[in-house]
Amino acid sequence: MEEKVLRFIRDNGLIDPGDDVTVALSGGADSVALLRILRALAPQLGISLRAAHFHHGLRGAEADRDAEFCRKLCADWAVPFSLGGGDVTARAAETGESLEEAARVLRYAYLQSVSPGKLATAHNADDNAETMLLHLLRGTGLRGLGGIPVRRGAVIRPLLACTRAEIEALLEREGLPHVEDGTNAADDCVRNRLRHRVLPLLRAENPNLSRTLGRTAALLREEDGFLSRLAARAAADCRREGGWSCEALLALEPVLRRRVLLAMLTELGLEDPAQVYVEALERLLTAAPSAKAALPGGWIARRTYDLLGFSGAETAPALPELALQVPGCTALPDGLGTISCRVTKNLKNFKKNLTTFAIKCDMIATLELYVRGRRPGDRLTLPGGTKPLKALMIDRKIPARQRNAVPVLTAAGKPVAVFGVGCDPTWMAKEGEAAVVVEYSGGRTMCAPTEP
pLDDT digits (tens, 9 = 90+) for 210-260: 999 999 999 999 999 999 999 999 999 999 998 999 999 999 999 999 999
Q: Quick one: which of 58, 94, 56, 89 has its CA closest to 381? A: 94
Task: Work out the widest C-alpha separation in the chain, in whole angstroms.
Answer: 71
> What local confidence, expressed as pLDDT, does residue 444 receive?
39
CATH code of the region 241-312: 3.30.465.60
pLDDT of residue 188: 62
Task: Give whole-number Cα distances, 333 to 318, 320, 338, 372, in Å.
Answer: 10, 8, 9, 11
CA distances to 7, 49, 80, 225 from 161, in Å: 10, 21, 26, 20
Which whole number is the average pLDDT over 69-83? Answer: 96
Looking at domain 2-215, does it have CATH number 3.40.50.20? no
Name which of 64-68, 137-141, 236-240 the model is least confident about.
137-141
Question: Per-residue pLDDT for 90 more than 80?
Answer: no
Contacts of 239 (CB under 8 A, 6+ apart): 245
Which range (33-47, 115-129, 261-275, 359-373) has the least confidence?
Answer: 261-275
Q: Which pLDDT score, from 0 to 100, does residue 173 have?
A: 95
Residue 290 has pLDDT above 90, yes or no: no
Q: What residue segments make up the domains of the chain, in order of their start?
A: 2-215, 241-312, 322-442
Average pLDDT over residues 80-92: 86
Q: What is the rounded average pLDDT of the residues 124-128?
A: 95
